[in-house]
Amino acid sequence: MKWVTWENVAVDRMACAWLIRRFIDPQAEIIFIPAGHKPLPEDAEPFDIPGAKYSHRRGHCTFHTLLREYNLKDPILERIAQIVDEADVVQEAAVEPAAPGLDLICRGLRRISPDDPTALERGVLIYEALYAELMAENL
């Protein structure tokens, strides 16, 4: 399936791209459009674009929405959703110390990558690492 999002990915979209390819659609092809660009391509599922089906909902990040929509019930993914929530947008209460660090690293990763697809490729390693470490903590 084709997926589309705005260019200049950061923490939430890197997390979503990882989630999509790892748990939802291994063959996913992700394309990028400039922020605010309309109309959206018709043959692609938009994510993390304001107003799209897979977007922020009730103050939660898009990663969180994807977990709900695809009925992914994995406590480790829930935990990552909490971290991404706090990393991506301001929350009234913050309980994940890793969040600001993750935000910074993902922004830096985009900065040192030549383009968005490369940033997503590199982001995979970060989220695999996060997943593995949270899993180990939970054992």
Residues that bind another protein (CB under 8 A): 8, 10, 50-51, 55-59, 88-92, 100, 103, 107
Residue 90 Cβ, how far from another protein at the closest point, in Å? 5
Choice between 62 and 131, CB closer to another protein: 62
Choice between 88 and 116, CB closer to another protein: 88
Strand 29-33: give its sheet, edge to edge. Answer: 29-33, 2-6, 45-46
Three-state secondary-structure class, residue 27? coil
Residue 135 Cβ, how far from another protein at the closest point, in Å? 28
Kindly state the tokens that stand for 96.
């994940």
Determine contact, residues 63/81, Cβ cutoff 8 Å: yes
Choice between 95 and 132, CB closer to another protein: 95
Angstrom distance (rounded) from CA 92 to CA 8: 26
Backbone phi, psi, residue 71, to 5°: 55, 40
Cis peptide before 117 (omega within 30 of 0): no
Residue 26 Cβ, how far from another protein at the closest point, in Å? 28
Choice between 20 and 55, CB closer to another protein: 55
| Residue type, position 50, single letter | P
Residue 109 Cβ, how far from another protein at the closest point, in Å? 13
